[in-house]
Structure 1
Amino acid sequence: MRFSVNGQPTEAEPAPGQCLRTLLREQEHFDVKKGCDSGDCGACGVFVDGTPVHSCVYPAHRMEGREVTTVAGLGTPERLSPVQQRFVDAAGFQCGFCTAGMIVTASSAEVQAADDADLPRLFKGNLCRCTGYRSIDDALHGVTTTHARGGGGIGASVRAPAAERVVTGTEPFTLDFTTTGLTHLAVLGSPHASARIRSLDATEALALPGVHAVLTAADSPDVLFSTGRHENRLEDPDDTRVFDSVLRFLGQRVAAVVADTVRIAEEACRLIRVEYEVLPAVFDPEEARAPGAPLLHGDKDPFEHRIAAPERNVVAQKHGELGDVAAGLAEADVVVSGMWRTGRVAHAQLETHASRGWLDAAGRLVVRTSSQVPYLVRDELARIFSLDRGALRVFTARVGGGFGGKQELLTEDLVTLAVLRTGRPVQYEFTREDEFTIATLRHPKRVSVTLGARRDGTLTAMAVDVLSDTGAYGNHGPGVMFHGTHESVSVYRVPNRRVDAEAVYTNNPPSGAFRGYGLGQVLFAVESAMDDLARELGMDPFELRRRNVVVPGDPVVVTDADEESDLQLSGYGLDQCLDLAEAAVAEGGESAPDGWLAGTGMALSMIATMPPRGHFSEVRLTLERDGSVSLDVGTAEFGNGTSTVHVQLVAEVLGTAPEQVRLRQSDTDAAAYDTGAFGSAGTVVAGKAVHAAALALREAIRAAAKELGSTPRGDANTPLGMSITRRGVDHTLDALVDEQASLPLAAVAAAAPSPLAAVATASGTPRSLAFNVHAFRVAVDPATGEVRILRSVQAADAGTVLNPQQLRGQVEGGTAQALGSALYEEVRTDGEGRVTTRAYRNYHIPQFADVPRTEVLFASTHDELGPLGAKSMSEAPYNPVAPALANAIRDAIGVRPRELPMTRERIWRLVSRRAEGDG
């Protein structure tokens, strides 16, 4: 079959039923991405004879004689198309995985001729999980929000180092490269939520041509571990094996096949004969911890494997009291209480989990993976497979979104096993269905809250009870439970408070890390209860918070007044956030339609700026011979923007342009160590190490310049007279006696006997606290339950704003993701552990039309613990959104929503029941 791609003649023979997307990638057109393979997300968008199509549902056999144009055919990094340039100028991407397809759609003739009213319809088929669409909308309208190349220091909206490559599809993601002799891995999943493997026969599968191996428990090490990764691996329970003879959720690995193609591997999986013994199962966490319930991990030692009470299916628990809650409630003038529920939420990042492994020329195992934690993955793989860490390299390319879901070890262990067993290069890539059914999800929680207060609004007591469904395995179960009940409670000054929390095993799909790390679920309940309390007191909700929030000098504790904490209220800005949000939401906004009910609501959140118990990063800076600077840092870039900030910090300290900083990141062969890109630590930990290394290198350059400048050269005692120009001012090396003089990078680099380098480490302790306040004005249609957001405001205490555009994008993206889990998103199961939500089209993540513009306001603070006074702001914006929206809906309809998501039908039922007199 003959056709052309980006003007180049191409010949290919598509396989029966093959789609255009996979055919193009076979031809190494890696700018065509896979997000769903069902025509829902648009990441694979291309032009066919000038018409934009989703190539994942376009039959490859139709390409005879046709012309395909991918995003790479629209422009190059050196010569961008006008649309690509607009996406660069407006920072119209974060992770960038959706960007290729987004630009194809934006470049279509229909979009170019459309008015604003048509854009939501035209972009219905293009999903973005990161940006919240505001920056994409800016790009469509030619708005410039980033600083031009060649300048811009701290406080400027410097564009991402990879911007031109992202918008042309030339920035590689995990699987965007060719490997000779690559084989593929497919997994046979359990058809039962609870079963034991009695026998397994792989004879027929192994006989299938193209199959190289069938892997089972007999082939893998009998080592218990956790898929959840933390700096201290002891934070998570060891309850997981690569393959287990006992299966605890539907879809759990039974066996894996390594074959020449994915199709052959999947066919071979269907030929494996397995005899199962079906075991009793439990799906409700309340039932799971009750006497007589089936025990998922009852065979494990609670101390050795760090499971709180395996005899009750409890992986972690917290029961503590500060003061006397009963006495505090007795002295209260007003008491409110209630229970709230949150559902399962998928991370829904556009790039699915994927890994590719191979043996290099020296026989060392190399794994390239879509991970937020390559160093932690390396260390755990070495432990599981008894490998020396030096015999294993793990690295990432650009990662297409994560949100905590890629803080798990979900593909790397199988790839490692397969490469070690076969000696061949092996790839394992999740499908979109896998992301919903076997990847981790946000913990569903049931949260009860009781609050007592005096008539003046002073809190006298708080009791919080949390039941968390950790699913079949306990990865992140303890951490999410403890974190969720920490800052949500300790943000208020309450003399009497009690927390009872348990994370419970069930035969449901495993839960895991998700943006906000448990705070979003608990805050939904606590901040809703605070709103109820304000109503009972007849007090403004902003004022009630002002009277009770922690202030500098207060201890940051939950239930133990004597507990040692490294948390500090450094650069406190919660008071400013309350004022900013209150003033902004009072300005009104769009009017409610006739017959709709209008309401206003707010909520606040506090979050530690990094994880507890240490988060380490070691970076290296080198002044190269050409005057550029090489930066080796371990943090992965997945839309968090750390690459931009790290380059910006180096450029600011050394007085050079960001383009002169060459970044190498997230590679265990490069930087010595980095705990990982989670807990919003990329800026405040790795960034702090980068800043320290830049300062050290600056001093080394100054010292070298002084020495070189006074060293005799040639036949005369003449100082080295080289000079450079920076920002229009000439400086000689002798000028370095003045500490304020610009650094002669090129001169020192050329003249120094060896490249200058500096190494610095940051530990992540002590930690500070960031604050966010969100406020909404909404309208609700009582006839349908539709919620329309009339005004959305978030005020953030982010310390020094290093890059305003990027920081605003993080707030907007977090808000959009939170709106999804507040209004639409829920991974549903059938009550017996079977996930029924298996595709984007059945899981409503916010689209272009769904997300209102959020006004983002920053408090003016300076954090003494962060680099140049900055705080983290990747996770924080997500947390106050759902309760603020619930409070606004409550204000509008007069009845309290108590379950997430607050779907149209649920709101309609609340309004209808209230109208019928059923409170």
Structure 2
Amino acid sequence: MSFTVNGTASAEEPRPGQCLRTFLRGLGWFGVKKGCDAGDCGACTVWLDGEPVHSCITPAFRARGRSVTTVEGLAQGGALHPVQQAFLDAQGFQCGFCTAGMIMTAAALDGDQRRDLPAALKGNLCRCTGYRAVADAIDGTVHADGARNLGAPAGPAVVTGAARFTADVPPEGVLAGLLHAKLLRSPHAHARIVSIDSGAALAVPGVVAVLTHADAPEVLFSTGRHELDTDDPFDTRVFDPVVRFRGQRVALVVADSEAAAEAGCRALAVAYEVLPAVFDPEAAMAPGAPRLHADKPGDAGIHDPLRNVVAEFHSEIGDTAAGFAAADAVHEATYRAQRVQHAHLETHCAIAWLDPDGRLTVRTSTQVPFLTRRALAQVLGLAPERVRVLCGRVGGGFGGKQEMLVEDVVALAALRTGRPVKLELTREEQFTATTTRHPMAVAVKLGARRDGRLTAVALRAVSNTGAYGNHAGGVLHHGCGESIAVYNIPAKKVDGYAVYTNTVPAGAFRGYGLSQLIFAVESAIDELARRLGIDPVAMRRLNAIRPGDPMVGTSTDQGDVAYGSYGLDQCLDLVEGALERGPALAPPPGNWATGRGVALSMIHTIPPRGHFADARIALRPDGGFALTVGTAEFGNGSTTTHVQIAAGVLGAAPADIAVHQSDTDGGGHDTGAYGSTGLVVAGRAVERAAEALRGRILAAAAARLGGNPEAWRLAPGLATDGTHRLPLAEVAAAEPALEGHGRFDGTPRSIAFNVQGFRVAVHRVTGAIRILQSVQAADAGHVVNPMQCRGQVEGGVAQAIGAALYEHLDIDAEGRVTTPVFRAYHIPAFADVPVTEVLFAQTHDALGPLGAKSMSESPFNPVAPALANAVRDATGVRFAELPLAADRIHAAVAAAAGR
């Protein structure tokens, strides 16, 4: 017995070269996660003789004869470890994928280390929380607000390592005989595959199959998932004989181990005809540029394949020429927002198998299980009822999992081999072969009279969609529309282009185009205000829309968007007041300049053209409730709010409601958890289902116990008087099929607002930025769960600070991603993130469930321009390109000073 894990001896021996992480997971300790396999993220942290180590870079043989503790081993005698309990109490997690590793590090800290958390937690990354809740947990701080701050139903499972993410399934039962898949990817930015010789690969011991474009359906589809399929161009194949970016799939090797699959990939012999490539969208639109998708049919949804333009639109409302002529000041500049990766800690992963009836089943990390089932059926030529898609807990998304990037190839492999197949992307593949935020160049022209009234705006937005057009049109339209619809401007002109290039594809990303456009528009408004000598907040108040004003962006047709509530004025007042009270931190001593900046944003609370959710809730025999929803939980907190909504309607304790979710076998339909719709669409469906069940219970109770059903309707719960509840178990016994069903179609749509303010210090010599104060005011309607909503805002601000200051996915002159790991691509660590004061406007939305509005993606949007405006205030220099890196600031400030 050479290994002891969580007090249990094991005779298992690791494979030569095996790391401790994979060894422990092979023993069934799934609390040990894979986030990077490079010692960068800490998701795999365990204790070795009481000391925390990153198990992904610790050779397994070094644990021989020593004591290993994983998060599952912290709890003793049935009681949670104090740190596990603290993370529960403080809601110190969102998706929860990093939580086990974070807890293992935190639980090992001594008193001195707890006083220096930035240093103590430097080896643990979190993409969701913004770290404030993590610090609260370690400090023992709970920001309580009564029963409204219900913890996540899965919280106990998350903090103990029992929560099961996509890959946390033992290879037994339905997964007996599990195979592993690896993808060979293109080394060229643009090439035609001449031949693939798989003979040597098939000769590798353990290799079962090799799949190429010769084995795949020729059906065209989009990896982007929307309720309306035609929102995206059909320009993608499972395997394509033409590759259009470095990292594109070429072949799939399926083997009995990952090592054998990797060896099989190395043994494949592929001959390519290298084709001309283009990496800049302006060059791609020019005559003579390589045509990336000229082979596609006319009905593929590509606007102009001969110019590499996947989507294009032009609009002019009012007379912009006259508006600029009437202006006393005009600001004109081009603003650039870079590629940003989602960097969710759980990489894309899927497992596919055939059930006993031969039905295809796919367990996957997705935000859109129902749309993925539909796409798989279409691509693979199966009836929808022959496909089931389900999720475990999903380890972050931010739009990156609103795509079908792995499910199609594992499904194809399972159908071909008849055995279960698993594919889990590496961290490098996440950077080089999935999707990013759309990099954009936005030329802005903005005019105003000397009193601050805006007279005209003109935008020319060029979006680089990369090699494929998933989400290209939607991102462009969404960004251009709402960024200017929030302002009353008599004349508005927009020219938008989404362009193919031979680079890694862009896709859905938190904010969906708004962060790029708002950076441009809010920077321009700030610059114009300074030129006119008007306070930037006052200028925004003067020009912002108010209830009753038309919301005019790229069209005069507001469609189904309405003022369900309005809190922008409150948000401006809250942020201005917080900044006036002074910074949370004093400026550091030395050669620092200080400044402050603000920016605002508006977002439609639901995507257009249909977003549907069904919910069902049934009375259980024990008097509890079974709630079925289709929405995936990936840190968005929708499960918690669904429980709260149902409990509120039914007068039940939250613990009495069991949730089944993210499974297409659950019945009904759910468009997916994106666009912050988990609360406002699925939440409304839950509300309607609970109301329907409540009515049936009251009617059944009245029939059994006497009286009018209305006599039992004593808000807020099902009670005969103030102390005694209805005998629900008795009602269930008499009426065993009591259910309530609810559906919501996402119309009409409300609007939500966010205002961000910063105080910063900028070093005059080095260009370094220190954030002295961060405050965001959010118009979220009635806040169902204040702690959870605050966490969403804090996490959005933290992620946006990274995108504003240092995150950049770089591509070289040959189309190669040069930032393929966390050490090269800097996401915010604990030490990088300031405390953000979160303030909520007091509104109650007429359209959302319980008066609530969405607040998952919108906090990201105003952060970059608010930071840029603060840096402008401090330095006198306007920065029009992200990220606001120290070297860029140093060079610009030095140039402005004549040095």
Name the structure 2 match of 1:819: 801
Name the structure 2 match of 1:888: 870
The partner residue of 1:167 within 159, 164, 169 is 159
SS at match of 1:450: strand
Structure 2 residue 581 is matched with structure 1 residue 587: yes
Alignment of 1:93-108 (within 5 A): 93-108=93-108
Structure 2 residue 116 is matched with structure 1 residue 134: no
Q: After superposition, what is the alpha-carbon deviation per residue over 1:515-540, rounded to whole angstroms, capped at 9, x for unaligned?
A: 00000011111000000010011000
> In the aligned structure 1, how far is the partner of 2:83 from the partner of 2:287?
62
The partner residue of 1:785 within 767, 785, 790 is 767
Identity %: 59
> In the aligned structure 2, how far is the partner of 1:167 from the partner of 1:858?
29
> In the aligned structure 1, how far is the partner of 2:217 from the partner of 2:144?
50
CA contact (8 A) 1:77 1:168 kept: no
Structure 1 residues 358 and 146: alpha-carbon distance in aligned structure 2, compared to 1, 3 A threshold: farther
Name the structure 2 match of 1:690: 686
SS at match of 1:219: coil
Name the structure 2 match of 1:572: 566
The alpha carbon displacement at 1:767 in A equals: 0.3
> In the aligned structure 1, how far is the partner of 2:338 from the partner of 2:308?
20
The partner residue of 2:291 within 291, 295, 301 is 295
The partner residue of 1:669 within 639, 653, 665 is 665
Structure 2 residue 515 is matched with structure 1 residue 523: no
SS at match of 2:104: helix
Name the structure 2 match of 1:715: none
Structure 1 residues 330 and 134: alpha-carbon distance in aligned structure 2, compared to 1, 3 A threshold: same
> In the aligned structure 1, how far is the partner of 2:788 from the partner of 2:727?
28
Return the TM-score normalized by structure 2.
0.97
Name the structure 2 match of 1:651: 647
Name the structure 2 match of 1:421: 416
> In the aligned structure 1, how far is the partner of 2:427 from the partner of 2:727?
48
SS at match of 2:812: coil
CA contact (8 A) 2:701 2:731 kept: no
The alpha carbon displacement at 1:903 in A equals: 1.0
Name the structure 2 match of 1:457: 452
Return the TM-score normalized by structure 1.
0.95
> In the aligned structure 1, how far is the partner of 2:208 from the partner of 2:400?
30
CA contact (8 A) 2:6 2:70 kept: yes
One-letter amino acid matched to 1:757: E
Alignment of 1:218-237 (within 5 A): 218-237=214-233
One-letter amino acid matched to 2:34: K
**Count of equivalent residues:** 890
> In the aligned structure 1, how far is the partner of 2:81 from the partner of 2:800?
33
Name the structure 1 match of 2:845: 863
Structure 1 residues 66 and 231: alpha-carbon distance in aligned structure 2, compared to 1, 3 A threshold: same
Alignment of 1:503-514 (within 5 A): 503-514=498-509
Name the structure 1 match of 2:433: 438
CA contact (8 A) 1:318 1:500 kept: yes
> In the aligned structure 1, how far is the partner of 2:459 from the partner of 2:666?
45
Structure 1 residues 341 and 726: alpha-carbon distance in aligned structure 2, compared to 1, 3 A threshold: closer
Name the structure 2 match of 1:263: 259
Q: After superposition, what is the alpha-carbon deviation per residue over 1:225-248, rounded to whole angstroms, capped at 9, x for unaligned?
A: 000000001100000000000110
SS at match of 2:564: coil
The partner residue of 1:204 within 200, 214, 223 is 200
Name the structure 2 match of 1:119: 117
SS at match of 1:636: coil
The partner residue of 2:695 within 679, 689, 699 is 699
> In the aligned structure 2, how far is the partner of 1:417 from the partner of 1:248?
22
> In the aligned structure 2, how far is the partner of 1:686 from the partner of 1:742?
31
CA contact (8 A) 1:624 1:749 kept: no
The alpha carbon displacement at 1:374 in A equals: 0.3
Q: After superposition, what is the alpha-carbon deviation per residue over 1:525-584, rounded to whole angstroms, capped at 9, x for unaligned?
A: 1000000010011000111001111111111122433x2511112211101111111001
SS at match of 1:92: coil
Name the structure 2 match of 1:602: 598
The partner residue of 1:497 within 492, 507, 526 is 492
> In the aligned structure 2, how far is the partner of 1:25 from the partner of 1:731?
48
Name the structure 2 match of 1:714: none
CA contact (8 A) 1:665 1:671 kept: no
CA contact (8 A) 1:34 1:44 kept: yes
Name the structure 2 match of 1:34: 34
Alignment of 1:723-734 (within 5 A): none
One-letter amino acid matched to 2:48: V
One-letter amino acid matched to 1:277: E
Single out whichever of 49-58 and 548-557 deviates more from structure 2. Answer: 548-557
SS at match of 1:530: helix
Q: After superposition, what is the alpha-carbon deviation per residue over 1:30-51, rounded to whole angstroms, capped at 9, x for unaligned?
A: 0100000000000000000111
The alpha carbon displacement at 1:499 in A equals: 0.3
The alpha carbon displacement at 1:116 in A equals: 5.3
Structure 1 residues 870 and 674: alpha-carbon distance in aligned structure 2, compared to 1, 3 A threshold: same
Name the structure 2 match of 1:339: 334
Name the structure 2 match of 1:716: none
SS at match of 2:664: coil
> In the aligned structure 1, how far is the partner of 2:77 from the partner of 2:135?
22
One-letter amino acid matched to 2:611: H
Single out whichever of 70-79 and 578-587 deviates more from structure 2. Answer: 70-79
Structure 1 unaligned regions, length at least 5: 712-718
Name the structure 2 match of 1:70: 70
Structure 1 residues 536 and 726: alpha-carbon distance in aligned structure 2, compared to 1, 3 A threshold: closer
CA contact (8 A) 1:359 1:423 kept: yes
> In the aligned structure 2, how far is the partner of 1:77 from the partner of 1:679?
43
SS at match of 2:184: strand
Name the structure 2 match of 1:911: 893
One-letter amino acid matched to 2:95: C
CA contact (8 A) 2:685 2:744 kept: yes
Name the structure 2 match of 1:238: 234
One-letter amino acid matched to 1:264: A
Name the structure 1 match of 2:91: 91
Name the structure 2 match of 1:158: 150
CA contact (8 A) 1:91 1:146 kept: no
Name the structure 2 match of 1:630: 626
> In the aligned structure 1, how far is the partner of 2:325 from the partner of 2:518?
25
Structure 1 residues 638 and 697: alpha-carbon distance in aligned structure 2, compared to 1, 3 A threshold: same
One-letter amino acid matched to 1:894: G
Name the structure 2 match of 1:872: 854
SS at match of 1:87: helix
Name the structure 2 match of 1:374: 369
One-letter amino acid matched to 2:235: D
Single out whichever of 267-276 and 93-102 deviates more from structure 2. Answer: 267-276
CA contact (8 A) 1:146 1:159 kept: no
> In the aligned structure 2, how far is the partner of 1:593 from the partner of 1:50?
38
Alignment of 1:792-871 (within 5 A): 792-871=774-853
Structure 2 residue 741 is matched with structure 1 residue 759: yes
One-letter amino acid matched to 1:915: A
Q: After superposition, what is the alpha-carbon deviation per residue over 1:434-475, rounded to whole angstroms, capped at 9, x for unaligned?
A: 000001011100011111111111110000110100000000
SS at match of 2:614: strand
The alpha carbon displacement at 1:117 in A equals: 4.6
Structure 2 residue 309 is matched with structure 1 residue 314: yes
SS at match of 1:485: helix
The partner residue of 1:397 within 389, 392, 404 is 392
Name the structure 1 match of 2:470: 475
The alpha carbon displacement at 1:831 in A equals: 2.1
One-letter amino acid matched to 2:464: D
Structure 2 unaligned regions, length at least 5: none
> In the aligned structure 1, how far is the partner of 2:487 from the partner of 2:718?
56
The alpha carbon displacement at 1:741 in A equals: 8.8
Single out whichever of 585-594 and 198-207 deviates more from structure 2. Answer: 585-594
The alpha carbon displacement at 1:726 in A equals: 12
